[in-house]
Amino acid sequence: MPATRLMPTEEAQELIDLAREIATKELAPRAPEAERDEVFARDIFRMLGAAGLMSLPYPEQFGGGDQASEVYLQVFEELGTEWASIGVGVSVHALSCYPLVTYGTEEQKQRWLPDMLSGETLGAYCLSEPHAGSDPAAMRTRAVRSGDGYVITGAKAWTTHGGDADYYTVLARTSDDGGRGISCFLVPGDAEGLSAAKPEHKMGLTGSPTATMNFDGVYVEEARRIGEEGQGLPIALAALDSGRLGIAAVATGLAQGALDLAINYANEREAFGKPIIQHEGLGFLLADMAADVASARATYLAAARLKDAGWPFSRESAIAKLVATDNAMSVTTNAVQVLGGAGYTRDFPAERYMREAKVMQIFEGTNQIQRLVISRHLTRR
């Protein structure tokens, strides 16, 4: 049951229709096997790039779609409805482009953005470290001046597309001045001294590689520093505000997929002489699931519209990420319950949806961090 969407323009509706068609015809058939075998579908990202769906938030002059947040996030949701790993991958790629688009010089944009926005190159975002996940100001990866550039040494954990990305947006320490001592760099994936550890064995999103990236004296020219030296943490935090909306949208799509599965099963499965959806106990559970999906969608769209209007949206972004991912965990868990014993088997994707939902509450800032962000906003006057 596709989500009902009131899109702002005819072009926006066409983008949603295109995303839904690709998700149904290309993503849905491949997702079960790829997730089972832990296969990274790099070709899907090239296809999405060719279709113009990898660059929707960014300027047309560099090959972007120049679409409002309200629009491109719903495209992310459509992709996530059929294959969460792809939805997350597109969101992470958009996140990796954000610093260059927002803080890069015109020369830097001309040099790298066209390939990034076309999907020819796939990006990754290196912020977290083994000991500094929720506290990025505590990072230890260092970028030391050397000649006309910097030498980066350290390790970045939990890197989506780690080992498979063509470039890495990296935050590294350039001085010991706390949060003001971090800078942002665009590191090519084939840089000497850059390597990926063995991919993590995850409980979900197994079609999306996640690895620690090791920087063993990686040299980057100064032209690859994005923004001013010491500006990295504000760049990272601004990027995360947008990235959290991307994850909220994908989590909503994942929940929609689980809801659709549960509704279809409940309409077909009979007990005591009628479809199980007609039994109040189950019908009410499905009603709660539908309400969770709709409220998640409304929450992330409300934050997106603030962003599109140029208003502050950091608090609303945290709320959207918190609500959408907690609701996704609830909806996918209940989808397993609706299917009963069948939901606990791998004959149906319900158990996969449930495993995929869990990490949504963790990455792009745990939901405990989202509560901290929200509470801090509430103390301001």
Instruction: For 184-217, write each residue's pLDDT tens digit.
Output: 999 999 999 999 999 999 999 999 999 999 999 9
> Each residue of 220-253: pLDDT tens digit?
999 999 999 999 999 999 999 999 999 999 999 9
Give residue for tokens 């084939």: 190
Alpha-carbon separation of residue 327 from 189, 314, 345 (angstroms): 36, 20, 22
Q: Residue 269 is which amino acid?
A: R
Question: In degrees rounded to 5, what are phi and psi of residue 206?
Answer: -75, -10
- Percentage of the residues of the chain whose pLDDT score is greater than 90: 90
- The chain-wide mean pLDDT, for the chain, equals 95
pTM of this prediction? 0.95
Which residues lie across from 150 on neighbouring strands? 145, 220
Q: Which residues are catalytic?
A: 364
pLDDT of residue 381: 62
Domain 10-118 adopts which CATH fold?
Answer: Butyryl-Coa Dehydrogenase, subunit A; domain 1 (1.10.540)
Residue ranges of alpha helices (H) inside the chain are: 10-22, 28-37, 42-50, 69-82, 84-103, 106-118, 232-268, 280-308, 314-339, 350-360, 367-378
pLDDT of residue 133: 66
pLDDT of residue 136: 77
CATH class of 234-378: mainly alpha
Domain at 123-233: CATH architecture: Beta Barrel (2.40)
Dihedral, 73, 79, 81, 82 alpha carbons, nearest 10: 180
Query: What residue segments make up the domains of the chain, in order of their start?
Result: 10-118, 123-233, 234-378
> Each residue of 129-174: pLDDT tens digit?
988 767 777 899 999 999 999 999 999 999 999 999 999 999 999 9
